[in-house]
Structure formats: C-alpha cells, structure tokens
C-alpha cells in the first residue's frame, strides 16, 4: 500500500469525526503545550541564574566578620567588624589566593548638580575589580596609592551613571557622596542582576580609606565588614578555604575549642547549588508536563480502540478485497500518529503563545529552544506509535470472515 494513500485514508477517517478527533487530540495539545511552556520557563530561569553566576566572578570566597551558627549571623547590630585590612593582605599572600579585598559597605545619597540618587557605597581596594572580574566601560579603577592616600575618587555603576548623568560623560565630574565631594574616574561595565535579584550596577565604589574617613564617619578604621577573595582555580578552593580558616584563627588568636569570629563562605559553591536547584526545578516541571502527554496518549489509545470496534466491518471489507494484515496495521497506526502529531502541532503553537504571554506579563525570561520543540515532536511521535500500536494490532488480527459478518 502506498504511503500517501495511508495518510489520505487516516485524514479521511479523522475528518469524518471532527469533534471526536479534536477532543482526542486535546490531551496531546495540552501536554505538548505544557512541556514547551515548562521547559521554556525552566530554561529561562536557568539562563538567568547562569548569567548571575558569571557576573559574580569565579572561585569566590566571602569572609564575613562575626561567627555564624546554623541559625544565621550572630553579629549584633552595631558591633565592630572583626576583620582588618591586614587580614585581607595576609589572605592575599596565601598560596592559593589570587586577590583579596576588604569591603566596607553602606549606603548614601549622591548628588550631582540638581540630581540626587540613593545607592550602595562600597569602600574597597583595587583587588575588588579583580575578584569580581569586573571590567570598566570607561575611565579606570582607583589604585593602591589612592587607597593609601584616601583620595576622593569614585567608580560608578551603570545605573548610577544613567541616573545622575543621563547622556553626559561622567568621567572627571565631581559628585557629592553624603556631602563629601568625589571625582568620578571610571564607569563600570554592566553586570545585571545578582543571584538574590539585586541590581549590581546600582552602586558606587570608592577607596576604603576614603569611605571610612569621609562617608561612614562612625566606622572603625582599618576594619572591614567582609573580605572577598579569589582562589587560583576551582581545584584549589578547598585548600584555600582551610588555609584562610587557619590563617585567621592564628591572626585573631582563637584557641582550640573557641568559636571563630569570622565566617568563610564558598560563594561559587552556593551559586552552583542555586543553579542545580533551578535545574532540578525545570526537570520537575518538565516531568509533570510529560505526565499529561502520557494521559493524552492513553486518550488516543482509547479512541482508537473504539474506532477499531466501530469499523470492524470496514476492516473485513478491506481484507476481503486484498488488504494484508500489515496494511490494516499501518492504516490504524498512521491514524493514531496523525492524531498525535496534529495534536503536537497545535500544542507547539499554544505552548509558544503561552510562553510569549508569560514573558510579556510576568517579565520572566523564557527560552523556547529548538531542542525542546524537537523533543515535543519526538515524544508525540513515540506516544502515537506506542499507544496506537495495540489498537492497530487488534484491527490487523481480526478474522476477515468474522469482521465481514459484524454489523
């Protein structure tokens, strides 16, 4: 039997029961749409996390002042940071560490001309740009000499540049940070959202000495709220972590059995955990969607069984005039396949439409990839074959004489 006439026959049979065919397909439509939508949302979330991780910098440690227990940070509000600039220098001198920078964070109002903007202020050292792998868009970062002399220079993020300066070139302009004048010497390249959803470009970075003298006047000199450090490579992360622990316990004279007054966190590991969480989430969503595909397949099998019973006489006639068993098998298999593939096509359209809606209304980034489309089509094909085979075999196994006699 010729293949095109098989599809013709299948189309004909399905077209005579339009409503029934459509309802049968609905399971596949919803299943495929759900798979595509869920994969799109999942992959969108993954892409978001990935870019956040990339923007964070690699092989990163954050060493925080104060101890933590499982309950969280035990640093009392107002208590003095325990980490010193010298701690940061010592960490930087460790074998497995590339760079380390003490950070004194806070927030302040910036004023330029008649415009003001409240933002985060980070007092730190030039190592910060290395640790965070943060290139400049224009101008340059401040130097060690600037830190030593307490120079009033500032590097600003993209958001600050836009809000304060608009189209103007910020380089060389003087802004006031909590009334103290600072000269803008550089604009950082855009980083986007961090893992916890903050806009990383909304900040201003100044030498840590200047920050403590001019902006956070109440803060203890030479103390940092936290230190960020970068390990040489991913492999050296573990060695670096214990080296930092040992170093700081020595420097802070913490005896055996005493509680640390600092906390070392492997940021890269935390980020990777977040990434694998979103990966598992998207897998889970896909699996739930796949269940509706299977349900759709069972619907197809059910209707095909009904169809075979209804058309027993037709099968008998076809066999009498020369249809081989395999012709009958193919006829019903192709019918089931046509059902599932048309359902798949409608599901793809619905899924892409839904994904576009989610993107525009919920503001979630989504990604309908060719791979997910291919998977949807492939799975529908398999479902059509799998759930179409049993009814088709039943049709092909009919006895022609019995089938001809049926009403």
Pull the structure tokens for residue 383: 């479902």
How many helical (H) and strand (E) elements, i.e. helices and strands, does the chain have? Answer: 13, 14
Min CB(309)–another protein separation in Å = 17
120: three-class secondary structure by DSSP: strand
Min CB(396)–another protein separation in Å = 10
Question: Closer CB to another protein, residue 235 or residue 326?
Answer: 326
Question: Closer CB to another protein, residue 275 or residue 306?
Answer: 306
Min CB(5)–another protein separation in Å = 5
Residues that bind another protein (CB under 8 A): 1-2, 4-5, 12-13, 16, 313-314, 316-327, 400-401, 404
Question: Closer CB to another protein, residue 269 or residue 317?
Answer: 317
Question: Closer CB to another protein, residue 78 or residue 322?
Answer: 322
Question: Closer CB to another protein, residue 214 or residue 311?
Answer: 311
Question: Closer CB to another protein, residue 125 or residue 331?
Answer: 331
Min CB(297)–another protein separation in Å = 26
Evaluate whether 343 touches 380 at the Cβ level (below 8 Å).
Answer: yes
For 174-239, give the DSSP string.
Answer: EEEETTEEEEEEEEEPP--B-TTS-BTTSEEEEEHHHIIIII-TTSPTTEESEEEEEESSSTTHHH
Evaluate whether 148 touches 125 at the Cβ level (below 8 Å).
Answer: no
Min CB(391)–another protein separation in Å = 19
Which residues touch 216 (CB under 8 Å, ≥6 apart)?
A: 104, 106, 121, 123
Min CB(335)–another protein separation in Å = 13
Min CB(304)–another protein separation in Å = 17
Which residues touch 260 (CB under 8 Å, ≥6 apart)?
A: 67, 245, 248, 249, 252, 254
Stated as kind and residue range, the H or E segment containing 128 is helix 127-131
For 351-398, give the DSSP string.
Answer: HHHHHHHHHHHH-------HHHHHHHHHHHHHHHHHHHHHHHHHHHTS
Question: Closer CB to another protein, residue 139 or residue 400?
Answer: 400
Alpha-carbon gap, residue 157 to 136, rounded angstroms: 9
């Amino acid at each position: 039997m010729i293949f095109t006439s098989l599809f013709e026959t299948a189309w004909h049979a399905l077209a005579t029961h339009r409503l029934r065919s459509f309802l049968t397909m609905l399971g596949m439509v919803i299943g495929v749409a759900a798979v595509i939508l869920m994969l799109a949302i999942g992959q969108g979330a993954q892409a978001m996390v990935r870019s956040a991780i990339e923007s964070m910098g690699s092989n990163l440690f954050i060493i925080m002042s104060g101890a933590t227990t499982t309950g969280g940070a035990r640093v009392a509000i107002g208590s003095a940071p325990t980490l010193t600039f010298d701690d940061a220098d010592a960490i930087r001198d460790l074998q497995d560490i590339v760079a380390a920078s003490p950070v004194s964070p806070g927030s302040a109002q910036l004023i330029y001309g008649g415009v003001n903007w409240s933002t985060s202020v980070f007092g730190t050292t030039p190592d910060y740009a290395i640790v965070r792998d943060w290139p400049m868009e224009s101008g340059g970062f401040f130097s060690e000499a600037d830190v030593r002399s307490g120079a009033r220079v500032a590097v600003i993020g993209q958001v600050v540049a836009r809000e304060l300066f608009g189209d103007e070139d910020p380089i060389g302009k003087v802004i006031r940070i909590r009334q103290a004048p600072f000269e803008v010497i550089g604009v950082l390249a855009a980083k986007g959202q961090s893992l916890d959803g903050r806009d990383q470009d909304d900040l201003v970075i100044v030498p840590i000495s200047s920050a403590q003298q001019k902006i956070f006047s109440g803060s203890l000199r030479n103390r940092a709220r936290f230190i960020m450090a970068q390990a040489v490579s991913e492999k050296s992360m573990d060695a670096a972590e214990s080296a930092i622990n040992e170093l700081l316990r020595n420097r802070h004279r913490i005896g055996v059995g005493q509680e640390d007054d600092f906390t070392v966190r492997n940021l890269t590991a935390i980020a990777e955990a977040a990434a694998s969480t979103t990966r598992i989430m998207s897998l889970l969503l896909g699996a739930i969607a796949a269940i509706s595909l299977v349900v759709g397949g069972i619907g197809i099998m059910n209707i095909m069984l009904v169809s075979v019973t209804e058309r027993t006489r037709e099968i008998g006639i076809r066999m009498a005039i020369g249809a081989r068993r395999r012709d009958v098998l193919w006829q019903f298999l192709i019918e089931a396949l046509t059902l599932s593939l048309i359902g798949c096509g409608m599901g793809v359209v619905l899924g892409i439409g839904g994904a576009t809606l989610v993107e525009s209304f919920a503001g979630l980034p989504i990604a309908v990839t060719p791979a997910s489309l291919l998977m949807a089509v492939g799975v529908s094909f398999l479902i059509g074959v799998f759930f179409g085979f049993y009814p088709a075999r039943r049709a092909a196994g009919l006895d022609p004489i019995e089938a001809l006699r049926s009403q």
